[in-house]
């Protein structure tokens, strides 16, 4: 009998439900976009109900396609969940209703709060405990802001009637019953993005909770990334176990099969995220990177990673489409970019809400520099693609410094990797090979792999050797090292122009 695993991939701008077979082949999927809310400059919110409804719609329509092919829902043995990380949701534990909109991971409203904390304690005051700098990025800072600025949240926290979670927790809670016995859990990868978990003990830290003024009773139980948590109670998936849970970038690391120390992947989505497998021990970065849990399967030891995070990648293309109007569809940017040999000296720093790794400057803002009368929309389009590639170079340099072992090849996935020209630009800027799989849904595949291991579909990583390994595309550098270095130096000058604006 055929065996299948489902994967719920809840992202920043859309939700998806995907079904894979036991060989890792994608059988069917459905995707739904949902609304983004921008109530103030730098603020980005989601309605938690929009997230739920988009996931439910994806499940039902994805299953219909699956059944229309002659399969049965009971052929699906487990469900994995992967999610946008750091996005913060609080809800009433008695009614199950959210207390306010979700604050999205790239929201910058906590800018002043972060500056106050950093001036008193220093950016890296908590890094040895949680592996992270104090930044607008992480959940604890967003939660502290809610407690200080939203009276209903503050009151519910004081009365201990609220509970907190990132998007994985919100989804699993509702899928397993909500107020009717729904599970309040998260996994170690998502917990490692809150600034509240001890990175070595993999437990909520009393010291970190005290620092942010947060009660432990509102937090979910921390589980591994691969175990049977409980059965789904609603949608047509009712009765099937949820058995995998990873933050999206960790899930992509698993989906790219970066199981060995030194392997690295980069995902080009709304933002851009590079993870470097550091093995069984957490490495505290001295070069502006994040220390995070890569994954933890069942009772096995955790695997750690260094991460470099870029706030704006694919979302810059949508900005060019929606705000500048020089393209009508996002994929049109590739033809525009390919119509010129270079950017004509134009550099686009896409610091819409500050710069993440390795800069950590929330005072930065976006800028386009080097514009002359010669500049046209094709140069802007190419500069938009180059922006993610230059920031990836900054992260790769930091990883080379921290690890002491130069990276020689980069595994890539995510929406922007569909662009051959973008991936060639990336290889040229890095000066190394860029390795793209034929099936690019590696984030969803990672959650499916975690769920599959929990229910015995796979029992060892070696069984995954043939999964998504055929027909990979390798992009190799086509420009000289000298030319690449000169362009990168000019990019660094453009970065300097973006600082000290907010």
Q: Could you tell me where the DSSP H helices lie in 224-361?
A: 248-255, 314-319, 332-338
- How far is residue 259's CA from residue 420's CA, in Å, rounded to a whole number? 27
| pLDDT value, residue 137 | 87
User: Would 126 be classed as within a structural domain?
Assistant: yes
Q: Which two tokens stand for residue 222?
A: 């921390």
415 domain residue, yes or no: yes
pLDDT at residue number 85: 92
Is residue 342 a part of any domain in this protein? yes
pLDDT at 501: 86
- Position 303 in a domain: no
32 lies in the same domain as 114: yes
> Are residues 323 and 212 both part of a single domain?
no
Query: Is residue 408 located within the same domain as residue 494?
Result: yes
Q: Would you state the pLDDT for residue 334?
A: 92
Cβ pair 159, 106 in contact under 8 A = no
Asked if residue 347 and residue 456 are part of one domain, the reply reads no
What is the pLDDT at residue 23?
Answer: 87
Q: Please tell me whether residues 365 and 240 are part of one structural domain.
A: no
**What six digits make up the tokens of 16?**
């998806």
Q: Is residue 299 part of a domain?
A: no
Q: What whole-number distance in Å separates Cα of residue 30 and Cα of residue 17?
A: 6
pLDDT score at 284: 87
Is there a cis peptide before residue 358, judged by omega within 30 degrees of 0?
yes
Q: Structure pTM?
A: 0.87
CATH number at residue 362: 3.30.420.40
Domain shared by 447 and 431, yes or no: no
Establish if 240 belongs to a structural domain. Answer: yes
**Is the domain of 370 the same as that of 414?**
yes
Asked if residue 40 and residue 149 are part of one domain, the reply reads yes
- Asked whether the CA dihedral 235, 51, 444, 241 is positive or negative, the reply is negative
Q: Are residues 25 and 52 in the same domain?
A: yes
According to the model, what pLDDT value does residue 172 have? Answer: 98
Residue 328 lies in a domain: yes
Query: Pick from 371, 414, 111, 120: which is nearest to 253 by CA?
Result: 414
Residue 209 neighbours by CB distance under 10 Å = 16
Q: Which two tokens stand for residue 246?
A: 């990873």
Residues 226 and 243: their CA atoms lie apart, in Å, by 6
Question: How much is the pLDDT for 34?
Answer: 94
Select from 143, 221, 233, 232 the least CA-distant residue to 184. 221
- Structural tokens at position 386: 């180059």
- Reading the chain (502 residues) residue by residue, the pLDDT tens digits are 779 999 999 999 899 999 999 888 899 999 999 999 999 988 999 999 999 999 999 999 999 999 999 999 999 999 999 999 999 999 999 999 999 999 999 898 998 999 899 889 888 889 899 999 998 889 999 999 999 999 999 999 999 999 999 999 999 999 999 999 999 999 999 999 999 999 999 999 999 999 999 999 999 999 999 999 999 999 999 999 999 999 999 999 999 899 988 889 998 988 888 999 989 988 888 888 899 999 999 999 999 999 988 888 888 999 999 999 989 988 899 999 999 999 999 999 999 888 888 888 888 999 999 999 999 999 999 999 999 999 999 999 998 888 877 888 899 988 889 899 999 999 999 999 999 988 888 899 999 999 999 999 998 888 888 887 777 899 999 999 999 999 999 999 999 999 988 7
Domain that holds residue 136: 4-256+439-464
Structural domain contains residue 422: yes
Cα separation of 357 and 163, whole Å? 30
**Same domain assignment for residues 72 and 199:** yes
Supply the pLDDT for residue 176.
97
What is the spatial distance between Cα 101 and Cα 150, in angstroms, rounded to a whole number? Answer: 11
Do 233 and 118 share a structural domain?
Answer: yes
445 and 419, same domain (yes or no):
no
How many domains, the chain? Answer: 2
What confidence score (pLDDT) does residue 465 get?
82
Per the document, the length of the chain is 502
């Amino acid at each position: 009998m055929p065996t299948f695993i489902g994967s719920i991939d809840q992202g920043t701008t859309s939700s998806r439900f995907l079904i894979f077979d036991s060989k890792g082949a994608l059988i069917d999927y459905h995707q739904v976009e949902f609304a983004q809310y921008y109530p103030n400059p730098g603020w980005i919110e989601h309605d938690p109900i929009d997230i739920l409804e988009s996931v439910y719609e994806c499940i039902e329509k994805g299953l219909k396609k699956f059944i229309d092919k002659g399969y049965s829902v009971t052929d699906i043995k487990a469900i994995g969940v992967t999610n946008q990380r750091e996005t913060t949701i609080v809800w009433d534990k008695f009614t199950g209703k959210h207390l306010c909109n979700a604050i999205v991971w790239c929201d910058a409203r906590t800018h002043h709060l972060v500056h106050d904390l950093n001036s008193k304690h220093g950016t890296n005051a908590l890094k040895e405990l949680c592996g992270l700098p104090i930044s607008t990025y992480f959940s604890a800072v967003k939660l502290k802001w809610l407690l200080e600025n939203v009276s209903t949240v503050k009151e519910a926290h004081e009365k201990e009637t609220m509970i907190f979670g990132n998007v994985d927790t919100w989804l699993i809670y509702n899928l397993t019953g909500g107020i009717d016995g729904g599970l309040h859990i998260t996994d170690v990868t998502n917990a490692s993005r809150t600034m509240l978990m001890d990175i070595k003990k993999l437990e909520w830290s009393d010291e970190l909770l005290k620092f942010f003024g947060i009660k432990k009773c509102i937090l979910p139980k921390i589980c591994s990334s691969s175990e049977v948590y409980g059965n789904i109670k609603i949608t047509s998936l009712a009765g099937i176990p949820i058995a995998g849970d990873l933050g999206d970038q960790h899930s992509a690391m698993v989906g790219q099969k970066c199981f060995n120390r030194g392997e690295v992947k980069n995902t080009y989505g709304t933002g851009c995220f590079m993870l470097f497998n550091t093995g069984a021990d957490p490495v505290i970065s001295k070069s502006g990177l994040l220390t995070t849990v890569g994954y933890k399967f069942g009772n096995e030891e955790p695997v750690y990673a260094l991460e470099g995070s870029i706030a704006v990648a694919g979302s810059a293309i949508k900005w060019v489409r929606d705000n500048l109007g020089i393209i009508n569809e996002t994929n049109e940017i590739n033809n525009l970019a390919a119509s010129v040999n270079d950017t004509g000296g134009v550099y686009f720093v896409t610091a819409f809400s500050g710069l993440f790794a390795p800069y950590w400057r929330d005072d930065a803002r976006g800028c386009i520099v080097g514009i002359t009368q010669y500049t046209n929309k094709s140069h802007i389009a190419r500069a938009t693609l180059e922006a993610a590639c230059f920031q990836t170079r900054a992260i790769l340099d930091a990883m080379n410094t921290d690890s002491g072992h130069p990276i020689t090849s980069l595994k890539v996935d995510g929406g922007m990797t569909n662009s051959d020209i973008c991936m060639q630009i990336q290889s040229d800027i890095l000066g190394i090979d860029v390795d793209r799989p034929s099936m690019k849904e590696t984030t969803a595949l990672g959650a499916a792999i975690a769920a599959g291991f929990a229910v015995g579909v796979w029992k060892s990583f070696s069984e995954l050797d043939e999964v998504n390994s055929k027909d990979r595309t390798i992009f190799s550098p086509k420009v000289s090292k000298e030319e690449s270095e000169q362009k990168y130096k000019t990019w660094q000058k453009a970065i300097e122009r973006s600082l000290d604006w907010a």
